[in-house]
Amino acid sequence: MQVPILKQGAYLIATVQSALTDEDLKQLRDTLVVSVSKVRARGVIVDVTALDVIDSFATRTLRDVAHMIRLRGAETVIVGIQPEVAFSMVKLGLSLEGIATSLDLEEGLAYLDRKGKGPEHEVRTHR
Amino acid sequence: MRSALIADEVRVPIDRDADIVTARQKGRELATQCGLLSTDLAVVATAISELARNIVRYAARGEIIVRRVDENGKRGVEVVAVDEGPGIPDVTLAMQDGYSTSGGLGLGLPGTRRLMDEFEIISDFGKGTTVTVRRWKR
Neighbours of A59 (CB within 10 A): 20
The residue ranges of every structural domain in chain B are 9-136
C-alpha distance from B18 to closest chain A C-alpha (Å): 6
Of B77, B55, B54, B56, the residue nearest B66 (C-alpha): B77
CATH architecture of B9-136: 2-Layer Sandwich (3.30)
Q: Does domain A5-121 have CATH number 3.30.750.24?
A: yes
Please enumerate in sequence order all residues whose Cβ is within 8 A of that of A67, keeping only pairs 6 or more positions apart, or say none. Answer: none
**What sign does the CA torsion over B73, B79, B82, B86 have?**
negative
Contact B51, B131 (CB under 8 A): yes
Please enumerate in sequence order all residues whose Cβ is within 8 A of that of B9, keeping only pairs 6 or more positions apart, or say none. Answer: B30, B65, B66, B67, B68
Euclidean distance between the first and the last CA atom of chain A, given in angstroms as a whole number: 42
Name the residue in chain B with its Cα closest to that of A55. Answer: B46
pLDDT tens column, B8-30: 999 999 999 999 999 999 999 99
Among B26, B79, B96, B105, the strongest candidate for a mutation testing the A interface, having the largest count of A CBs within 10 A, is: B105
pLDDT confidence of residue B105: 83
pLDDT tens column, A54-106: 999 999 999 999 999 999 999 999 999 999 999 999 999 999 999 999 999 99
Q: What is the ipTM of this complex?
A: 0.90
pLDDT tens column, B124-137: 988 999 999 999 99
C-alpha distance from B47 to closest chain A C-alpha (Å): 8
